Amino acid sequence: MPQVVGPLLHERDMYLAWSLKRSKAVNGSRCVVGVVGKGHLRGVLYHLVTPGSSGNLRFSNNGPFFTTNFGVPIANNNASLTVGSRGPVLLEDYQILEKIATFDREKIPERVVHARGAVAKGYFEVTDDITALSFADVFSEVGKKTDIIVRFSVVTGPSGSPEWLRDPRGFAIKFYTQQGNWDLVGNNIPVFFIRDGAQFPDLAHALKPSPVNHLSPGWRTADFLSYHPESMHMVTYLLDDVGIPADYRHMNGSSVNTYSLINKSGGVNLAKFRWVPSQGEKYLLDEDIGKVAMAHPDGSSASSDLYTAIDAKEYPEWYLYIQTIDPSASTTLAFDPLDPTKVWPEEQFPMRRVGKLVLNQNAGNFHNENEQLAFSPAHIVPGIGYSDDKLLQWRLVAYDDTQRYRIGPNFGLLPVNAPRCPVYTTRQDGPLNSANQTGAVNYYPSDFASQPLAAPYPVDNSSVGPAMRVRTVIDKTDNFSQAGARFRSFDSARQARFVKRLSGLLSSPMVTDGIVARWMSYLQQMDSSLASQVSSSVGSPKAAASPALGPAVMQSSTGRRMA
């Protein structure tokens, strides 16, 4: 509890209290938080701050007056120190200098993709036994609960972009397991535009605004995708009725990439992960957009819905499912299971339930738990492995690399990113290191430190050779079968809406005959009826351009945004 020590006669005597706490505090540090009383009864109010296990500072917004960043009390936070009331500011005005300098640096670079997002916390609970497939601790027994944090996001737009745009959505989960952090970083759509990470920078540039005027005309998307026939499957999702999730609570999730599961005997299965909302799925159609935009002029429709629901104790939940394939059988399939532009047919590879994710707590600080939250598909745990998926392989490199640039090399020490299990490593130092590492031995091996044993877990030792070094595409591309089948699964009204949106994209100003010709070739190979309908529509004269309202927003030939 706060205590009064004194009496003290002037604010400058707070420094006496500072000396007092320095001399008396041994196991904690007492910090001045205010002055109470008047005249000879004036005293200094302070409280004892006991550092947490990580040594993090504890801040409070309930103190009697402000302090500097280093805890020194401030008499006046609203006026500069000057020579007279109208004179110039003095250089020694450290408290305002610190205030301004902190403000100048308080933002970190936004994510290059997935910039706008919403975060919530909760737990994952195992509901079904899959220990025969994986020895991962997170799946070790039915009923086991693991703390998690989830970030949902809009993929291509900037941090202020509306959440009702036609755009993929991110669905990333960090599991704080007893064997370290596992990040399952995916999207709402189960496939992707490309199958090789070498093409991702170009994809991101094409979907983002022009470097000339920062607008997002449809021709940029149409142009790039016309050179990527493998993107047609993704297009059947993005321009379909499921292209705009109504909110985050009613949205599916998918790993997109293929991973591997390893059991205690060393057996390996390829695996994909899927999240299915218990609340059901909801999407926005064309006519819904105006109403949602008017209700949320700041574009926060999905973030607001998630926060409000959790605040009202209406906790959203999802069930985790997996699909698995024996690697030895993968070569006999009509498609490559490592291809992220493909889904695994459920009739061949049934979905198997694993557990339940529940979100029951909102984030307490947007910057600390959203902006500084860092995911990477490279963060896996024993019992879960990677695959040779070319898109995944580059994601393993890119995510941690961008976090080191965006947040700093010690981003893993931040509370939201730090593991909840013991950490034993010789890696240390660097900017803003708060790990409080001790001991003289910062290398391995050494006679002066314990000799850690090799982790007693089986690893994937499957052979990948001999092989030649090549730069080429995979053998089994088949870019159109699954895309065409998906279009044919739509009813006639849904097909008509898809055709209208796609025709609008291809009717965008500056879309050339060459671009349209490539698209028509792909559509013909997907479904002849689809190609015929789009050809009839695109043949009409193009309308004048109108301003694009956001990244990856498809516009019709009349310039109206297609939702």
Residue-level pLDDT at 488:
99
Compare 300 and 53 and report the one with higher pLDDT: 300
Residue-level pLDDT at 436:
76
> Does residue 254 contact residue 189 with C-beta atoms inside 8 Å?
yes
Q: In this structure, what DSSP letter does residue 308 have?
A: H
Phi-psi region of 269 (alpha: psi -120 to 50; beta: other; left: phi over 0): beta
Amino acid in the structure at residue 558: T
Residue-level pLDDT at 26:
37
Provide CATH code, domain 116-206+243-413: 2.40.180.10
Summarize the annotated binding site as residue ranges: 399
As a whole number, mean pLDDT of residues 29-45 equals: 42
Residues 73-126 have pLDDT tens digits of 988 999 999 999 999 999 999 999 999 999 999 999 999 999 999 999 999 999
Q: Is 263 exposed, middle or buried (0-12, 13-18, 19+ CB in 10 A)?
A: middle
Which of these, 485, 523, 528, lies nearest to 506 by C-alpha position? 523
Q: Is 435 exposed, middle or buried (0-12, 13-18, 19+ CB in 10 A)?
A: middle
Q: How far apart are CA 501 and CA 505, in angstroms?
A: 6
Query: Look-up: residue for tokens 């109470």?
Result: 36
Summarize the annotated binding site for heme as residue ranges: 399
pLDDT-derived band at 57 (thresholds 50, 70, 90) equals: low
Sequence-separated (6 or more) residues with CB below 8 Å from residue 448: 440, 441
User: Cis before residue 431, ω within 30 degrees of 0?
Assistant: no
Q: How far apart are CA 139 and CA 264, in angstroms?
A: 12
Q: What are phi and psi of 45, to 5 degrees?
A: -95, 130
Residues 188-229 have pLDDT tens digits of 999 999 999 999 999 999 999 999 999 999 999 999 999 999
Q: What tokens does 157 get?
A: 């737009």
Residues 469-506 have pLDDT tens digits of 788 888 889 999 999 999 999 999 999 999 999 999 99
pLDDT-derived band at 438 (thresholds 50, 70, 90) equals: confident
On the question of pLDDT at 301 being above 90, the answer is yes
Which of these, 118, 231, 240, 233, lies nearest to 169 by C-alpha position? 118
Q: Tell me the domain boundaries of the chain.
A: 3-75, 116-206+243-413
As a whole number, mean pLDDT of residues 310-322 equals: 99
Query: Poorest-confidence range of 225-234, 388-397, 532-541?
Result: 532-541
Q: What tokens does 85 get?
A: 């009331």
Query: Look-up: residue for tokens 């006669």?
Result: 9
Active site residues: 114, 187
Q: Is 312 exposed, middle or buried (0-12, 13-18, 19+ CB in 10 A)?
A: exposed
Does residue 23 sit in helix, strand or coil? helix
Query: Poorest-confidence range of 27-31, 442-446, 535-539?
Result: 27-31
Q: What is the 3-state secondary structure (H, E, C) of 125-174?
A: EECCCCCCCCCCHHHCCCCCEEEEEEEEEECCCCCCCCCCCCCCEEEEEE
Amino acid in the structure at residue 188: N
pTM: 0.85
Sequence-separated (6 or more) residues with CB below 8 Å from residue 322: 130, 133, 261, 271, 272, 273, 274, 351, 352, 354
Q: Is 288 exposed, middle or buried (0-12, 13-18, 19+ CB in 10 A)?
A: middle
On the question of pLDDT at 559 being above 80, the answer is no
Average confidence score pLDDT of the chain: 86
Q: How far apart are CA 349 and CA 355, in angstroms?
A: 18
As a whole number, mean pLDDT of residues 386-415 equals: 96
